[in-house]
Structure 1
Amino acid sequence: MRTSYLAATLAIFAGLAQAQHDDDTDLPRWAVDKMTPMHDAVSHWVSNTSRNIDGFFGTDDSLHVENGSYLRLSQELEWNDTENFSAESAVRFRLDLPTTKERLRLIIESDPEESQGTLAEQGSNRLRTDQRGTGSTVIGLSRLGRGDKTREWDVGVGAGVKFRLPLDPYARITGERLWQLDESPWQLASYNRASWFNEDGYSVRSKWDLGRPLDEHRHLRFVTNVQWQETVDTLEYSEAVELNQILGRRSVIRYAVVAVGQSASDPRLHDYYLLSHYRRNLHRELLFLDVIPELHFPREQDYEPQWGLTLRLEVLFRGDLVVRR
């Protein structure tokens, strides 16, 4: 029954993706007419709320500057060999107040990277939305870096609280750098963050991304992640080779081969996996579809292959609203 339901859902989404009613939507006209007023109303609410709060604490420039606030609603269907079929709904939001003080921003976000679990959980989508919950929401001040990442390290600091009882204070520092390797097409990007939460303790994560375009539609990346969390108390690392391809104006796909390991004293790999991630802009950068098949070879299962499939439908409401009819 569950497999049949998943197959039917795939067929419906495939039909949507193949529809060509006009250049920027796959939806029939009646669906556009139903969706547009609701989406515009919620987007206006996100924009007005964030700009009004920003104007109260900041300046009148809040009405004109770029605002990165958003509200994202998603419905996710997941199937895998071990847990069969599951369905989850999720709400993600971010409140950005850019003029509150020069280079200082008040940030409210419901899904900070510190709450996203181990590298294995991040890579295989095993950390479910109900495990994160509203207790992962943080509110705080972030001081943006002033540097040009191509010339020097761009360093930002932030502090605030995780919104739960009792309140959980945090502090973090982030550093980013981008190098162009001589005259070659290769670029090396580095992202690093050290965090402290009163409840969870310290964590450190580092990402090194070496990539180059192969042509105007394909991009090759070699991505290294290293992470340590006090709650896990082991060093984790992952290596990935990714090929990103633009399929059309509204479709992209990523192919990846990933190895995940842990422990510095006795390093060993505990998961290999292959995945492809297809993303389709179904309707004017407002409605998106993700299809993510995966094949895992986990060490804890003696490297027996385990299949997984994730379907995600996502609606995005932005603070910077451009009304699309």
Structure 2
Amino acid sequence: MRIPLLLCLAVIPLSLHADDGDSDLTPWMVERITPVHDSVSRWVSNTSRNIDDFFGSDDSYSVENRSFLRLSSEFDWQESEDFETDLSIRARLDLPTTRDRLRLLIESDPEERQGTLADQGSQRLRRDQNDSSSTTIGLDHLDSKDKREGWATRFGGGVRFRLPLDPYVRLTSERLWDLGNGPWQLGSYNRLSWFNSDGYSARSRWDIGRPLSESLHLRYITQFQWQEEYDTLEFSQGAELNQILGRRSAMRYAAAMVGNSSSSPRINDYYLLTHYRRDLHREILYLDVIPELHFPRDANFDPRWAFTLRLEMLFRGDIRKRE
């Protein structure tokens, strides 16, 4: 399933409307989208709650369930390179009443398969760098601890469907601190993974930020990554200013540098970007427009433009009670 480029281009003018109402789509587009969205959302909700009811309790039909299915189609262009398009699929089925709280994950873009930090860049194109036709399915055991009170950890494992099958295990930990009595917050995200085909990998993300006003938020993000396949420590440092433009649109302004090696640090890329995100229709359909300017080492730090256009559809089941 690929959303044609012409459709992507057609919705850009719609995103420029003022935030009057909850949709930028025309009535005939709404009539075609709504039945499909409602049908798939019911399937997501019913599937997760039925599985949870089997392993857990009757409360599975009344408690909050954060299951979702996300489909996104992306168009990507980089100066001096070919145009690319990609379909990304990610699903999460929560099982909140199961004795050991579990989450079923289905994804075509696990972070372990997105290459080096230099490959990922600003994460314009969320695709599996090695084999976009494969899908990863796994089960996570969730920690009930609040990450504001201690380290929240989850352990998971599963398989990547390819030939031969590629099993994996991963351990993830998260923590959030309020710094003093001020508005600053520090967040930490860390993951250790093993894929049979690629070996071990480790990544760490530290995010410190604060609101500047009701519509502006400042963040500084530091990332580290090591992969056995490449056997080098990578790092990136970035700054972001996030701005709420209206009830259904926001903008991100960011600058970052990416490098590698701990003994002799080497910068491989600098880049600037703006990321415009628009809720096109009732928190169901989203549009992302991301122009970027890169200064890569392999081009002698000469400027290189890049552009991404993304359409994303989100299917979520509402909280409901058994009748």
What SS class does the counterpart of residue 137 from structure 1 fall into? Answer: strand
1:9 Cα offset (Å): 6.9
Q: CA RMSD, aligned part only? A: 2.3
The within-5 A match list for 1:23-42 is 23-42=21-40
In 2, Cα distance between equivalents of 1:316 and 1:133: 20
Amino acid at match of 1:246: I
Amino acid at match of 1:135: S
Partner in structure 2 of residue 88 of structure 1: 86
Partner in structure 1 of residue 45 of structure 2: 47
Partner in structure 2 of residue 162 of structure 1: 160
Distance 1:272 1:54, change over 3 A: same
Partner in structure 1 of residue 56 of structure 2: 58
In 1, Cα distance between equivalents of 2:145 and 2:258: 33
Deviating more after overlay: 210-219 vs 98-107: 98-107
Partner in structure 2 of residue 15 of structure 1: 13
Residue from 301, 307, 310 that aligns with 1:309: 307
Query: Any conservation in 1 of the 2:225–2:235 contact (CA below 8 Å)?
Result: yes
Query: Any conservation in 2 of the 1:92–1:110 contact (CA below 8 Å)?
Result: yes
Distance 1:88 1:149, change over 3 A: closer
The within-5 A match list for 1:221-300 is 221-300=219-298
In 2, Cα distance between equivalents of 1:12 and 1:180: 43
What SS class does the counterpart of residue 40 from structure 1 fall into? Answer: helix
In 2, Cα distance between equivalents of 1:11 and 1:45: 30
Deviating more after overlay: 254-263 vs 193-202: 193-202
What SS class does the counterpart of residue 309 from structure 2 fall into? Answer: strand
The within-5 A match list for 1:133-212 is 133-140=132-139, 142-212=140-210
Distance 1:101 1:116, change over 3 A: farther
In 1, Cα distance between equivalents of 2:35 and 2:21: 20
Structure with greater helix percent: 1
1:278 Cα offset (Å): 0.5
In 2, Cα distance between equivalents of 1:319 and 1:11: 29
Distance 1:85 1:38, change over 3 A: same
In 1, Cα distance between equivalents of 2:100 and 2:198: 31
1:314 Cα offset (Å): 1.1
In 2, Cα distance between equivalents of 1:132 and 1:275: 27
In 2, Cα distance between equivalents of 1:20 and 1:210: 32
Partner in structure 1 of residue 217 of structure 2: 219
1:109 Cα offset (Å): 3.4
In 1, Cα distance between equivalents of 2:145 and 2:40: 35
In 2, Cα distance between equivalents of 1:309 and 1:177: 33
1:284 Cα offset (Å): 0.2
Query: Any conservation in 2 of the 1:100–1:106 contact (CA below 8 Å)?
Result: no
Residue from 114, 117, 126 that aligns with 1:119: 117
Query: Any conservation in 1 of the 2:74–2:125 contact (CA below 8 Å)?
Result: no
In 2, Cα distance between equivalents of 1:127 and 1:82: 20
1:216 Cα offset (Å): 0.5
> Identity of aligned pairs, percent?
59
1:227 Cα offset (Å): 0.5
In 2, Cα distance between equivalents of 1:100 and 1:166: 32
In 2, Cα distance between equivalents of 1:89 and 1:154: 31
1:10 Cα offset (Å): 7.5
TM normalised by structure 2 equals: 0.90
The within-5 A match list for 1:73-84 is 73-84=71-82
Aligned length: 316
What SS class does the counterpart of residue 96 from structure 2 fall into? Answer: strand
What SS class does the counterpart of residue 214 from structure 2 fall into? Answer: coil
TM normalised by structure 1 equals: 0.89
1:134 Cα offset (Å): 4.2
Q: Extract unaligned runs of 5+ from structure 2.
A: none
Amino acid at match of 2:234: E
Distance 1:61 1:109, change over 3 A: farther
In 1, Cα distance between equivalents of 2:318 and 2:245: 27
1:130 Cα offset (Å): 7.2
Distance 1:166 1:62, change over 3 A: farther
What SS class does the counterpart of residue 300 from structure 1 fall into? Answer: helix
Amino acid at match of 2:153: V
Task: Note the alpha carbon deviations across 1:208-264, whole angstroms, 9 max, x for none.
Answer: 001000000000000000010111111000000000000000001111001000011
